[in-house]
Amino acid sequence: MRFNKRRNCPRRAVFEAVKDGDVVSLDIGLFFKGFHSDMAKTVVMGEGVKVARKLVGVAERTLDIGIENIKIGGHFGDPGFYMQKYAESNGFGVVRDLCGHGIGTNLHEEPQILNYGRKGTGPEIKEGMVFCIEPMITAGGWRIKKSADGFGYKTADGSLSAHFEHTIALTRGGLRVLTKL
């Protein structure tokens, strides 16, 4: 795919018309003064079907639960455990092949931050860290595959999915969500 040098976007991108009921996710990154940020939001277009509205609401709450369970001195398995528990208790799957990540001068840095897990496992959460929490929740199974265009992903079983993400910094003053609008 060739990119337009002025806009850094695909020159010949093909987009289907968005229809009532479609679930649309936007994953947005910003590079400013040598540093990255990353965020995502999912919406249901129009009224949508009940399962789509519930999926998006649960996915957004799953992100909030992940953030609420980030504690200096804890471990990254802690927010993953609570995100998985909440999503699955609502009848949804949690994608395991993609995860949150450290972020800074590179878009994707260590540590990898799973959206599932066990409490007390994973890297220790420390003051000064900047990272992204990004649960990806499905209405079906958790497996995904590359989309036909080779750029995105879709669920392996064709079920709906929703994705939310925030960039977070842990400072002396506490946790700061850098991408909250």
The DSSP call for residue 18 is: P
In a domain, 13, yes or no: no
pLDDT in tens, 104-155: 999 999 999 999 999 999 999 999 999 999 999 999 999 999 988 888 889 9
DSSP 91-158: T-EE--SS-EEE-SSSSSEEEEE-SS--TT-SSBP-TT-EEEE--EEESS-S-EEE-TTSSSEEETT-
Q: Is residue 76 part of a domain?
A: yes
Average pLDDT, the chain: 90
Examine residue 168 and state whether it is found in any structural domain, yes or no. yes
Q: What is the CATH number of the domain that holds 142?
A: 3.90.230.10
Query: Structure pTM?
Result: 0.87
171 conformational bin, left if phi > 0, alpha if psi -120 to 50, beta if neither: beta
Q: What is the DSSP-derived secondary structure letter of residue 17?
A: P
**Domain range for residue 137?**
22-177
User: What is the band of 15 on the pLDDT scale with cuts at 50, 70, 90?
Assistant: low
Mean pLDDT of 69-89: 97
| Within a domain: 8 | no
Find the helix or strand (DSSP H, E) in which 171 lies.
Answer: strand 166-171
Let me know if residue 111 belongs to a domain: yes
User: What percent of the chain has pLDDT above 70?
Assistant: 91
pLDDT of residue 27: 92
pLDDT at 13 over 90: no
